[in-house]
């Protein structure tokens, strides 16, 4: 096969030669390097490659070019090569333009000139982009197909599970021509949603475990005893798995749904250290998941943990569908879920117009409609910005009198600059109604009620920890959050089961060898960065615990 191509375009001959030289030095054995010193020449070269059927892995374009700037060039090139990684070369003075380009052409990265030495400032960036391109499914082939009803909660659950676990699929309605054919082929009495794999295997209204198994996700533990069990696959759990496995602990992470947790639903996280151009929650979760696997961690998906029991020196975790595994130590990182709106009439429309979290799979269906979002924190703001690219209008419903107390300043600025986002202060949802899906909402603003037509409601209100399964084993506060460290010592009483020699460290629960990290922990800071940090710190405390056993 011909080598895939890396295209570089810069109107400065000296810079153009330097870019091509550095690229050939590192990637010339595996890639063909094509350079152009004018934007029009570059577009013509890309057209010719498309006609020949060449694969383009990455396109690097200088921002300041006279015929068309780098953003315009990348926008034109992505029509021909939508999967090519897009990198903008820019001077420090043009950094703001590069950041704006993130939203215009879905820019993958921008590089500041000069980048000497390339081993530190150039090659790591290009390595990451080429690795991402290699992992992208660019070939049209027989794929997983999902057939269902537009306003079916079960159909939404299947699509959401596949999307959040990075499984590509094609969605079609049961009344579409191909959907009709597939349902007929499945046989009389077919129960939707219908999932059809590439080899023709069919699943009717599958649960998560069956779906996970058929798409190749790991659901069965390789052994029955580990050094470390991590319960929960959000940022704290993934951080624990990465650090635990990289430091030699035999580590298994158990996740009931998909890696990423609440952060994995975010359309773009812009304040996470090391990602100046932002990163989607799914991208961040996928990178962390692959990093954990690289170090040898085992990841189980669609397995729900329902019990934790100390047995001597072992900590035993039980599954809802039967079976158990044990370890020397356990890290609880189950995170939180969004609270349900208690307004009358909404419960029956969950997954049928009412969604808790970003529900990114629904965004294309919101095209040219009015969308309503409830919440005032970063997750709601990120969803508003993202959905504004699809909906004709995004209505952000805020119970308080402003966003400043709960939302980051950068998001408040973005929302103010987007014309089709309207913030409704002191406004609550007090009712919902419809037939087979949500059709109307009743809103209350300063005590005055009104009814609006609405098919889409996304809810981001507060958080509830998933800890009821812990029973009396682990101490929790009145809201269900896990108590750790000094919070356990109240009124001069020592935590149960702790040796008399010391107080528990920060993150340690009342059961030795069981720690909590991230949002599930009482008084934790609800940020992705702090959750990852707590996951890493928990592993350090696991080592300290194991040394004393």
Whole-number Å distance between alpha carbons of 489 and 495: 6
Model confidence at 335: pLDDT above 60: yes
Helix (H) or strand (E) holding 57: strand 56-62
Q: State how far the Cα of 110 lies from the Cα of 515, in Å rounded to an integer.
A: 39
> With 60 as the cut, is the pLDDT of residue 544 above it?
yes
User: Given the structure tokens 């790591």, which residue do they identify?
Assistant: 124
> Rounded to an integer, what distance in angstroms lies between the CA atom of residue 325 and that of residue 262?
26
Please give the pLDDT value at position 30: 93
Residue 78 to residues 33, 58, 191: CA-CA distances in angstroms?
A: 18, 10, 40
Q: Which of 322-326, 363-367, 534-538 has the lowest mean pLDDT?
A: 363-367
Task: Pick 116 or 96 by higher pLDDT.
Answer: 116
Structure-token pair, residue 464? 């509830």
d(CA 16, CA 22): 10
| pLDDT given at position 258 | 83
- Is 90 exceeded by the pLDDT of residue 96? no
Residues 6+ apart with CB under 8 A from 47: 80
Q: Is the dihedral of CA 150, 153, 157, 158 positive or negative?
A: negative
- Residue 119: pLDDT over 80: yes
Question: What's the whole-number average pLDDT of the chain?
Answer: 88
Q: In 10 A of CB 340, how many CB atoms?
A: 15
Rg, Å, the chain Cα set = 26
CATH top class, domain 5-135: alpha beta
Q: In this predicted structure, what is the pLDDT of residue 495?
A: 63
The predicted-structure confidence for 61-78, as pLDDT tens digits, reads as follows 988 888 788 888 988 888
10 Å Cβ neighbour count for 170? Answer: 11
Using one digit for the tens of pLDDT, what is the confidence trace for 461-502?
Answer: 977 898 999 999 999 999 999 999 888 766 455 566 666 556
pLDDT band at 134 (very low <50, low <70, confident <90, very high): confident
* Range name among 134-143, 204-213, 225-234, 296-305 with the lowest pLDDT average: 134-143
Strand partners, 350: 354
Do 109 and 130 meet the contact criterion of CB atoms below 8 Å apart? no
The secondary structure of 455-516, three-state, reads CCEEECCCCEECCHHHCCCCCECCCCCECCHHHHCECCECCCCCCCCCCCCCCECCCCCEEE
What's the rounded Cα separation, in Å, for the pair 485 and 477? Answer: 13
Six token digits for residue 420: 């089709």
What secondary structure letter does DSSP report for 45? Answer: H
Whole-number pLDDT of residue 502: 65
pLDDT, tens digit, 9 for 90 and up, residues 9-30? 998 888 899 999 999 999 999 9
The span from the CA of 539 to the CA of 549, in Å, is 16
Residue 400 has what pLDDT? 93
Q: Is the dihedral of CA 260, 263, 264, 270 positive or negative?
A: negative
What is the per-residue pLDDT for 498? Answer: 64
Q: Tell me which fold the domain 346-461 belongs to.
A: FAD/NAD(P)-binding domain (3.50.50)
Is 225-337+464-547 in the same CATH topology as 5-135? no
Q: Where are the domains of the chain?
A: 5-135, 145-215, 225-337+464-547, 346-461
The pLDDT of residue 373 is 96
How confident is the model at residue 541, as a pLDDT? 95
- State which fold the 225-337+464-547 domain adopts: FAD/NAD(P)-binding domain (3.50.50)
Peptide bond preceding 117 in cis form (omega within 30 of 0): yes
Residue 548 has pLDDT above 90, yes or no: no
Each residue of 29-61: pLDDT tens digit?
999 999 999 989 999 999 888 877 789 999 999
- pLDDT over 50 (residue 324): yes
Instruction: Check residue 299 and report its DSSP letter.
Output: E
How confident is the model at residue 491, as a pLDDT? 46
Is CATH 3.40.50 what the domain over 145-215 is classified as, yes or no?
Answer: no
Give the tens place of pLDDT for each residue, 351-381.
999 998 877 778 888 999 999 999 999 989 9
Tens digit of each residue's pLDDT (9 = 90 or more) over 82-91: 889 999 888 7
The beta-strand segments (E) located in 150-297 are 169-173, 194-196, 202-204, 225-231, 251-255
Q: Give the other-Cβ count within 10 Å of 22's Cβ.
A: 20
């Amino acid at each position: 096969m011909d080598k895939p191509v890396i295209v570089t375009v810069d109107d400065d001959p000296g810079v153009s030669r330097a870019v091509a030289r550095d690229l050939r030095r590192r990637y010339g054995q595996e890639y063909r390097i094509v350079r152009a010193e004018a934007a029009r020449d570059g577009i013509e070269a890309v057209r010719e490659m498309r006609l020949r059927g060449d694969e383009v892995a990455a396109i690097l374009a200088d921002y300041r070019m006279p015929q068309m700037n780098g953003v315009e060039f990348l926008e034109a090139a992505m029509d021909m090569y939508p999967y090519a990684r897009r990198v903008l070369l820019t001077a420090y003075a043009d950094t703001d333009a590069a950041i704006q380009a993130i939203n215009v052409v879905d820019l993958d990265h921008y590089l500041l000139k000069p980048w000497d030495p390339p081993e530190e400032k150039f090659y790591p960036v290009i390595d990451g982009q080429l690795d991402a391109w290699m992992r992208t499914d660019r070939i049209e082939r027989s794929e997983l197909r999902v057939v269902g009803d537009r306003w079916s909660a079960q159909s939404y659950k299947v699509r959401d599970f596949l999307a959040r676990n990075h499984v590509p699929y094609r969605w079609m309605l049961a009344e579409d021509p191909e959907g009709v054919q597939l349902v007929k082929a499945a046989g009389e009495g077919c129960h939707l949603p219908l999932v059809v794999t590439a080899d023709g295997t069919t699943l009717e209204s599958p649960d998560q475990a069956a779906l996970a198994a058929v798409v190749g996700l790991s659901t069965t533990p390789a052994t029955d005893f580990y050094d470390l069990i991590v319960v929960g696959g959000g940022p704290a759990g993934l951080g624990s798995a990465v650090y635990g496995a990289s430091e030699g602990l035999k580590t298994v992470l158990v996740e009931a749904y998909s890696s990423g947790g609440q952060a994995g639903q975010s359309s773009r996280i812009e304040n996470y250290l090391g990602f100046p151009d932002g990163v989607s929650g799914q991208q961040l979760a996928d990178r962390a998941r692959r990093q954990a696997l690289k170090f040898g961690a085992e990841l189980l998906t669609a397995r729900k943990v329902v019990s934790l029991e100390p047995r001597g020196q072992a900590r035993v975790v039980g599954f809802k569908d039967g079976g158990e595994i044990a370890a020397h130590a356990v890290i609880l990182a189950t995170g939180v879920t969004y609270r349900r709106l208690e307004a009358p009439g909404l419960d029956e429309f969950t997954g049928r117009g009412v969604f808790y979290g970003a529900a990114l799979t629904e965004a294309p269906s919101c095209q040219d409609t009015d969308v309503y979002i409830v919440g005032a924190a970063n997750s709601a703001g990120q969803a508003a910005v993202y959905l504004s690219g699809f909906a004709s209008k995004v209505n952000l419903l805020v119970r308080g009198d402003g966003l400043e107390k709960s939302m980051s300043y950068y998001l408040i600025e973005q929302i103010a600059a987007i014309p089709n986002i309207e913030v409704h202060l002191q406004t609550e949802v007090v009712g919902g109604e419809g037939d087979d899906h949500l059709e109307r909402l009743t809103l209350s603003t300063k005590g005055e009620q009104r009814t609006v037509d609405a098919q889409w409601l996304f809810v981001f209100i507060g958080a509830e920890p998933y800890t009821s399964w812990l029973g009396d084993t682990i101490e929790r506060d009145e809201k269900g959050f896990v108590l750790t460290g000094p919070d356990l010592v109240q009124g001069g009483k020592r935590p149960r089961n702790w040796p008399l020699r010391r107080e528990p460290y920060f993150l340690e629960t009342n059961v030795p060898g069981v720690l909590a990290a991230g949002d599930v922990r009482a008084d934790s800071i609800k940020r992705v960065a702090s959750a990852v940090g707590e996951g890493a710190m928990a592993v350090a405390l696991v080592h300290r615990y194991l040394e004393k056993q």
